[in-house]
Amino acid sequence: MNQIKNSFSSIEQMASKLRQTERKSAQNQPAKNSFESILFGREQKELAKETGAQASSLRFSKHANERLVNRSIDLSEEQIRRLHAGAEKAQQKGIVESLVMVDNYAFIVNTRSQIVVTAVAGGDEHVFTNIDGAVIG
């Protein structure tokens, strides 16, 4: 049995020392990536290289990310490229809240903030409200 030798006179002092140690180790560790950057980071960077656009030109909201996961929507690089192109076309036409259709998937994109608001898989009947226009392609 090992004996614990320390100079702590109370649990509070020991807890304080542990917190200081945790803060120091947290400062030395690299920042963790968000779920979105892990999920879409590589595709967006490759898309940016292909199109000459910035990697962050179209982002997915937390809600859209949840919908992608919950509805098992797995986008290929080609589909992501087409989503970007559809959002760009909508913005050029002055559409702010756009429905962008890519294959069997529907995305609501706010073109001002460049954010995909939600994602829907095809198959069922859906009603989309508060949109200015649609891009199908």
Pairing state between β 105-110 and 97-102: antiparallel
> Which position has the higher pLDDT, 31 or 79?
79
In the block, residue with structure tokens 């559809």: 86
| Single pTM value for the model | 0.59
* DSSP states of 22-79: HHHHHHHSPPPPPHHHHHHHHHHHHHHHHHS--TTSSEE-HHHHHHHHHTT----HHH
pLDDT of 54-108, one tens digit each?
A: 444 889 999 999 988 988 888 889 999 999 999 999 999 999 999 999 988 999 9
Given a contact cutoff of 8 angstroms between Cβ atoms, the answer to whether 86 and 135 are in contact is yes
